Amino acid sequence: MIKGIVMDFDGLIFDTEWHHYEVYRDLFQAQGATFGVEEYGAAVGSQGVIDPPAMLAERTGQLVDPTEFGAHHDQEVHRRLKEQKEPRSGVRALIQQIQSLDLRLGLASSSDRVWVERWLKHLQLWDAFEVVCTRDDVEHVKPDPALYTLAAEKLGLSPQEILVFEDSVNGSEAARKAGTHCVVVTNRITEQLAFGPVHRKVRTFLDLDLTTLLEELR
């Protein structure tokens, strides 16, 4: 029986991943190089999978200062996200339904705590989560199961009592390895990727009914 929900953050609750990708793409294009959505997709949900400054240097044959590159990227992404006031469609309604059903609610993200807390508070969703686990809390991020194992432990539940919502291949693999149930809600970056076994895969939260999911997993 499902007693708790654990959600990812980037790309699932808040559409951050598309902005990361577009800024990288534009930085590459400014130097006459390309950066494909599938390249970024492989990195979603984890950390250190790709090295965009090194990739740009290789493709252009020019020196790329990783500090300057990263500063420009971060500044532009933050500017865009500040203008985005709402989470992905259906997120607020899902959280309200979780609360109405008295389910425990946690979050597990491969991003750092400062990032997650900043944007959850920006969306006025920080207080909705009983437990927030980030890369600061574990040695290895997704696709390693540590984040979901830790979230289950902090919620006082077994992994089998948890339903995870994920948007990435790395995240869904982490949920599977942790022994949880997983539903994938893809985004513009991950919708074309090949996922391993999950309970269900949809393109939007509006395609889901939590009560039906809980009955299926009972």
CA–CA separation, 143 vs 46, rounded Å? Answer: 7
**What is the predicted pLDDT for the residue at 44?**
86
Low-confidence ranges of the chain (pLDDT < 70): none
CA atoms of 82 and 84, how far apart (whole Å): 5
Q: Give the pLDDT score at 46.
A: 76
Question: Quick check: 111 and 135 in contact, CB under 8 A?
Answer: yes
Local structure of 165: helix, strand or coil: strand
Question: What's the confidence (pLDDT) of residue 41?
Answer: 86
Radius of gyration of the chain (CA): 17
Which of the residues are catalytic?
Answer: 8, 10
What pLDDT was estimated at residue 52?
94
Residue of 178, 114, 172 lying closest to 146 (CA atoms): 178
**What pLDDT score was predicted for residue 43?**
81
Tokens at 138, concatenated: 């574990």
> What local confidence, expressed as pLDDT, does residue 203 receive?
95
Give me the pLDDT at residue 48, please.
78
Q: What pLDDT was estimated at residue 84?
A: 95
d(CA 127, CA 202): 27
